[in-house]
Structure 1
Amino acid sequence: MLSTADVGRVIEDDYGRTPTRISLIMSGHNDSYRVETDEATYAFRVYGEGKSWIRGVADLRFELDLLSHLGDRGAPVSTPVARRNGDVLGTRTAPTGDRHYALFTWCPGLPIDADELTLPQAARLGAALASIHVAADDFDSEYARYHLDEQTLIQRSLRLMSPSLRQADAGDARFITETAARISERLRDFQPGAHGWGIIHGDPQTLNCHFTEHGEIAFFDFDHCGFGWRGYDLAYCLRHTGSPGDPHGEDIRAAAVDGYESVRPMSPAEHGMLETLGRAAWIREGTAGGNGLAPAKLARLLRDPYGPWE
């Protein structure tokens, strides 16, 4: 992990900006820092190694090119900042190997837990997500990126989970594998219609977007972006909004879907798959890059994909 002093030197040398304050805000798959200058605030990311969805530098360049494209199209996203040499991706040699990094514009506001969304916020969330999907439709890149398809979401996740499932309660393990099989069957037959498959955020939880007090919203952290079902992104946002039958939760989900469709109407097939796609997201979350959910917790969330985390 880079010290804040090291980050400060990179910001001055590579970007020609003088930090007044630097703080580490998250360490995990990536190390993320908040960088404040007299002119603006930025997010500085040092990309981590060993992530199954990142195969090399080409994946990072796909993400950064996508964000630049989305910003040019007016989509509400954090965008990369060019270094002095014009490149948006930097590399620093460390004892453990090369570490890649990028600087991003800061999204004003604060994250909101999904179970605390108001109806207007849910509608804006849906509309913002749809605007990203629409703006991404004409994105073209020389770099490749992975697909969040049935093989990635379900089959690969089950392989990674198999050691923990063998140690789990037999009933939970059976429920998870049987549910995954039903999801796989539905995904293989899923025909979403025009623009229902394309570039997606991949991890659009409400903690990966900021809301301002004036109702503005912007998304960041496209580390999981790739090609997938657009409904997957929407279904991912709807998790933790309240169990089925909870009137407020039902209203929040309806507001998010209405907001989304105000920008990009969905096909009937997409509407019918939202809950299944939400369960597919939980199957993938069951692995979480090797640090996944306990089978008992995953089984509970699969039974109630909109329910509370705890």
Structure 2
Amino acid sequence: MESPQAQYEAFAQVALPEYGFSPDARVRLLNLSENGTFLVQEADRRAVLRVHRDGYHSRQAIESELNWLEALRSEAGVRTPETLRAVDGRRVVDLRVGDRYRHGVLFEWLPGVEPPTDDLVTQFEVLGGITARMHLHTRSWRRPADFTRFSWDDETTLGATPHWGRWQDGMAIGAAEQRILSAAADLVLRRLAAFGKGPDRFGLVHADMRLANLLLDGDQVYVIDFDDCGFSWYLYDLATAVSFIEDDPRVPEWTDAWVRGYRRVCDLSSADEQEIGTFIMLRRLLLVAWIGSHSTTDLAQEMGAEFTRVSCDLAEQYLSTTPHP
């Protein structure tokens, strides 16, 4: 059976002529997760090709993502990658390999590196400020009439129609794990219901706003990888910033720094701040679900049962420190 990487590489080759590259252009895999992301290089021309997974986003949803990237760049001063059009002017191209189809998008190659890890307090403060600028923009932006992105709300995270599958189907979840995680999920849902979805709390977010999705080039900061962007609570962006490291003892220090950076740009009420732990628990449960539904990936295999065990520890801590409405 053809590997997922080989499948994505085949689509990448099909995409080359769409953007004026020759078949001899160099194509190197950068990342394979929800999508396949490639560096394409020919002579002095470099670009980043994203081959979308099947069935995750519609063409219009991808176009909507690109509209937001353009608006952030032109209206909010948030540096996002520019979309490079195909030879015929399209931003989203249709790719076919045999009887399989994918969408493809080409982005400019951006300079820079991921933020250094030697001063994460400073980096989280920067991250909070950039996130606030994005949230301010979404509150006033007049979205195109055909704008469409999915939501990360109660139903599509822990409810009946979860985008990443059910946390109950995570790796190594037995009766004990089911009991503690179920209690945590129930408390998260009750607190979210009380928190509400008012316009000051719920809107268009990046939904994967981690330091890994920033690029630093001198004083310039670029924000990348908007593939999960959609409608959710604004605090969900903070929760995503500590994805996979929620158990690190420095998380409170990092989230405090994020809040400081955020408040330099945008208001964040004390009531909102008190709910940070709920959103971190929500995100952790989503990652348990993601690992279960992506159990064949290298990351899921690496995390495995240990990730579920630590998640249960976090759930117990959340239940013991969070008021039950």
TM-score interval for Structure 1 and Structure 2 normalised by the shorter chain: 0.7 to 0.9
- Relative to structure 1, the CA distance from residue 2 to residue 276 in structure 2 (aligned partners, 3 Å threshold; closer, same or farther) is closer
Residue 160 (str. 1) matches residue 173 (str. 2): no
State the alpha-carbon separation in 1 of the partners of residues 49 and 38 from structure 2: 5
CA contact (8 A) 1:191 1:269 kept: no
Aligned partner (choices 181, 185, 204) of residue 176 of structure 1: 181
SS at match of 1:228: strand
Partner of 1:31: 36
CA contact (8 A) 2:132 2:266 kept: yes
- Relative to structure 1, the CA distance from residue 94 to residue 242 in structure 2 (aligned partners, 3 Å threshold; closer, same or farther) is closer
Partner of 2:211: 206
Q: Deviations over 1:64-87 (max 9, x none)?
A: 222122222221222322223322
Offset of residue 271 of structure 1: 0.9
SS at match of 2:232: strand
State the alpha-carbon separation in 2 of the partners of residues 80 and 135 from structure 1: 20
SS at match of 1:102: strand
State the alpha-carbon separation in 2 of the partners of residues 261 and 219 from structure 1: 19
State the alpha-carbon separation in 2 of the partners of residues 238 and 125 from structure 1: 11
Partner of 2:274: 272
CA contact (8 A) 2:27 2:40 kept: yes
State the alpha-carbon separation in 2 of the partners of residues 277 and 135 from structure 1: 22
Percent identity between the aligned chains? 21
Q: Deviations over 1:110-164 (max 9, x none)?
A: 2358x65533222111111222222233041313221111111222459723345
CA contact (8 A) 1:128 1:218 kept: no
Partner of 2:225: 221
The one-letter code sitting in structure 2 at the alignment partner of 1:25 is: L
Matched pairs, number:
295
SS at match of 1:232: helix
Q: Give unpaired runs (5+ residues) of structure 2.
A: 1-6, 296-303, 319-325
Partner of 2:93: 90
Q: What pairs with 1:232-271 in structure 2 (closer than 5 Å)?
A: 232-239=236-243, 246=249, 249-271=251-273
Offset of residue 10 of structure 1: 3.6
Q: Give unpaired runs (5+ residues) of structure 1.
A: 306-310
The one-letter code sitting in structure 2 at the alignment partner of 1:268 is: S
Q: Deviations over 1:278-300 (max 9, x none)?
A: 11011111111712664434323
Aligned partner (choices 291, 309, 319) of residue 296 of structure 1: 309
Query: TM-score under structure 1 normalisation?
Result: 0.82
- Relative to structure 1, the CA distance from residue 300 to residue 98 in structure 2 (aligned partners, 3 Å threshold; closer, same or farther) is same
State the alpha-carbon separation in 1 of the partners of residues 147 and 99 from structure 2: 26
The one-letter code sitting in structure 1 at the alignment partner of 2:27 is: I
Question: What's the RMSD between the two structures over aligned residues?
Answer: 3.0
The one-letter code sitting in structure 2 at the alignment partner of 1:66 is: W
Residue 103 (str. 1) matches residue 71 (str. 2): no
Aligned partner (choices 282, 285, 290) of residue 284 of structure 2: 282
CA contact (8 A) 1:197 1:227 kept: yes
Offset of residue 33 of structure 1: 0.4
Offset of residue 7 of structure 1: 4.0
Query: TM-score under structure 2 normalisation?
Result: 0.79
State the alpha-carbon separation in 1 of the partners of residues 100 and 43 from structure 2: 33
SS at match of 2:158: helix
State the alpha-carbon separation in 2 of the partners of residues 215 and 303 from structure 1: 41
